[in-house]
């Protein structure tokens, strides 16, 4: 039996607890299938019209290109999949730290905001269907959801994994059933492949090509989370094999699922009735369920609830393992590295994440309103944060292979795919935010402040580097990748260099 990274790490967590299915479901639920499929439908169709499934299909292709970067790195560097080691090995430890810093931007704060949005949606549906006025349900959802997730995490990673399997499976089955019903009972225009015809870009929408490109980048955002198995590497069996495999599996499974679902929902409304989706006073998925399922529409709320619990748990798994790792290597106070003697879970990191989820969900919901906070923080800010990570990795894979493994350099895998996916991201982001976005496509306040939020987070990371350099405390940078599940042996073999030194061999 091959030795796993987890067995070599001096960890107090529970090693080799998760197999391929568990870590793949961790990545899948971090993507939040039901939320990605149903919460953003109206927005994406508004932007890209009839060709929303085509936009998602192209988004899947871009994500596969981005996944190629991680896989190319993992073939050479003995890492469980952490971007810190990869970027540090190619571009230096400071660049690696900033990449990790931006990578964790959304996971810690996402859960509370998603819970608040679910409560907001549920309250609206209860008022519409039963005249129950429960405007306070959004903040109750934040408190209950964050607390339940913390309790599940506290009791052990195996319980968390089983919960993800059940909740993730439930949301996928329900949403797939809705899509299949859409095909079985199509609206005006019937079942049609016109949704994949590039000649139809702009049909049913006023945004044209610029809206279609923004829909692509939001589709990339909708698939974000496929890297989420890496922070659990210390608890995974054979992580150098299973973590990269989970990347491909999660992208392919969710890519097919989301394209099929979007196609099914549009078909259910009618390919000749795009304005019906855009103008729907209800979420299109709920509206379609009411139409084709009658009283069974509440199953969609069950899918939303299941997805909310799953993504909150999956993002908390990522965050707590990062807080634990950073406490262990000295970047954070040592109290974050405390582990429960029986359950082998990072207790203080769990309590810290609970506090952050509550604060983010309650403050953002009260300040912006739950629905605005959801689209701002888990949509646009998230896009900017992970785009930084992907772009740094794309630059790094080219530099690494060109400089240190020239004999293995492949123009397709190490240059063309990283450059193409990087350019797509840059173009789509430019089309999405001032000053380059077309006037009809530019977000308004507070959404226009998303670059400011992401930029402030990046600035804080830079200031941390300056602070540690001024106080001669940069040595921890060499092991900062442990926050992403990488062992000391991994880091030593990868020759991650200290700040200011060269990484050449």
Buried b (16+ CB within 10 A) or exposed e, 3-34: ebbbbebebbbbbebbebebbbbbbbbbbbbb
CA dihedral of residues 484, 462, 353, 343 (deg, nearest 10): 30
Tokens 């060109």 correspond to what residue?
402
> What pLDDT score was predicted for residue 239?
79
SS3 18: strand
Mean pLDDT (the chain, rounded) = 85
* Residue-wise pLDDT tens digits, 375-388: 888 777 887 888 89
Nearest-angstrom CA–CA distance, 376 and 79: 33
How is residue 399 written in tokens? 């530099």
How is residue 497 written in tokens? 């260099």
Name the residue with higher pLDDT: 143 or 333: 143
Helix count (H) and strand count (E) of the chain? 22, 0
**DSSP code of 443?**
P
Select from 221, 151, 131 the least CA-distant residue to 454: 221
Length of the chain: 505
* Residue-wise pLDDT tens digits, 235-287: 888 877 888 888 889 999 999 999 999 999 999 999 999 989 999 988 899 99
Select from 217, 190, 210, 174 the least CA-distant residue to 56: 217
Query: Does the CA dihedral 111-442-206-212 come out positive or negative?
Result: negative
Nearest-angstrom CA–CA distance, 387 and 380: 11
Give yes or no for a contact between 290 and 300, defined as CB atoms under 8 angstroms apart: no
* Residue-wise pLDDT tens digits, 258-272: 999 999 999 999 999
Nearest-angstrom CA–CA distance, 51 and 500: 48
Q: What is the per-residue DSSP string for 269-318?
A: H-TT-HHHHHT-SS-HHHHHHHHHHGGGGHHHHHHHHHHHHHHHHHHHHH
Task: Mark out the alpha helices in 433-487 (DSSP H runs).
Answer: 450-470
SS3 484: helix
Nearest-angstrom CA–CA distance, 63 and 61: 5
pLDDT above 90 (res 43): no
Of the listed ranges 262-271, 451-460, 466-475, the one predicted with least confidence: 466-475
Angle at which helices 298-329 and 107-130 cross, to 10°: 160
Model confidence, pTM: 0.85
């Amino acid at each position: 039996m091959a030795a796993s990274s987890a067995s070599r790490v001096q960890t107090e967590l529970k090693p080799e607890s998760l197999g391929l299915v568990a870590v793949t479901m961790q990545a899948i639920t971090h993507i939040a299938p039901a939320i990605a499929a149903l919460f953003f439908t109206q927005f994406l169709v508004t932007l890209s019209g009839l060709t929303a499934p085509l936009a998602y299909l192209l988004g899947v292709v871009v994500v596969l290109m981005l996944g190629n970067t991680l896989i190319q790195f993992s073939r050479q560097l003995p890492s469980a999949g952490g971007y810190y080691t990869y970027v540090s090995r190619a571009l230096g430890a400071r660049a690696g730290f900033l990449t990790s810093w931006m990578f964790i931007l959304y996971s810690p704060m996402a859960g509370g905001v998603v819970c608040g949005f679910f409560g907001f949606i549920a309250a609206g549906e209860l008022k519409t269907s039963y005249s129950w006025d429960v405007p306070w349900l959004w903040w109750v959802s934040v408190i209950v959801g964050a607390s339940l997730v913390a309790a599940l995490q506290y009791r052990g990673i195996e319980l968390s994994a089983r919960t993800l399997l059940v909740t993730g499976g439930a949301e996928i089955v329900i949403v797939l059933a809705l899509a299949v019903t859409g095909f079985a009972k199509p609206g005006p225009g019937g079942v049609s492949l016109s949704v994949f015809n590039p000649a139809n870009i702009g049909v049913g929408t006023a945004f044209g090509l610029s809206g279609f490109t923004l829909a692509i980048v939001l589709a990339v955002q909708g698939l974000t989370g496929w890297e989420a198995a890496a922070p659990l590497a210390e608890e995974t069996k054979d992580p150098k094999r299973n973590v990269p495999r989970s990347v491909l599996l999660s992208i392919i499974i969710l890519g097919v699922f989301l394209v099929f679902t979007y196609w099914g929902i549009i078909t259910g409304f009618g390919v000749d009735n795009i304005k019906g989706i855009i103008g729907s006073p209800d979420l299109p998925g709920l509206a379609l369920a009411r139409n084709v399922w009658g009283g069974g529409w509440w199953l969609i709320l069950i899918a939303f609830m299941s997805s909310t619990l799953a993504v909150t748990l999956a993002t908390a798994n990522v965050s707590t393992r990062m807080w634990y790792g950073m406490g262990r290597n000295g970047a954070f106070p040592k109290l974050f590295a405390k582990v429960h003697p029986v359950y082998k879970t990072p207790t203080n990191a769990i309590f810290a994440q609970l506090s952050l989820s509550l604060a983010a969900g309650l403050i953002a919901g009260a300040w912006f309103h739950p629905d605005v906070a959801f689209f701002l923080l888990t949509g646009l800010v998230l896009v900017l944060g992970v785009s930084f990570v992907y772009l740094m990795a794309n630059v790094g894979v080219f530099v690494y292979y060109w400089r240190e493994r020239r004999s293995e350099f492949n123009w397709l895998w190490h240059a063309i795919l990283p450059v193409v996916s990087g350019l797509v991201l840059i173009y789509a982001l430019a089309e999405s935010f001032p000053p380059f976005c077309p006037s009809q496509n530019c977000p308004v306040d507070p959404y226009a402040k998303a670059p400011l939020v992401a930029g402030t987070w990046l600035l804080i990371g830079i200031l941390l580097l300056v602070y540690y350099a001024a106080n001669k405390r940069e040595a921890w940078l060499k092991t900062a990748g442990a926050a992403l599940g990488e062992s000391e042996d991994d880091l030593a073999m990868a020759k991650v260099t200290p700040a200011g030194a060269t990484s050449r061999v």
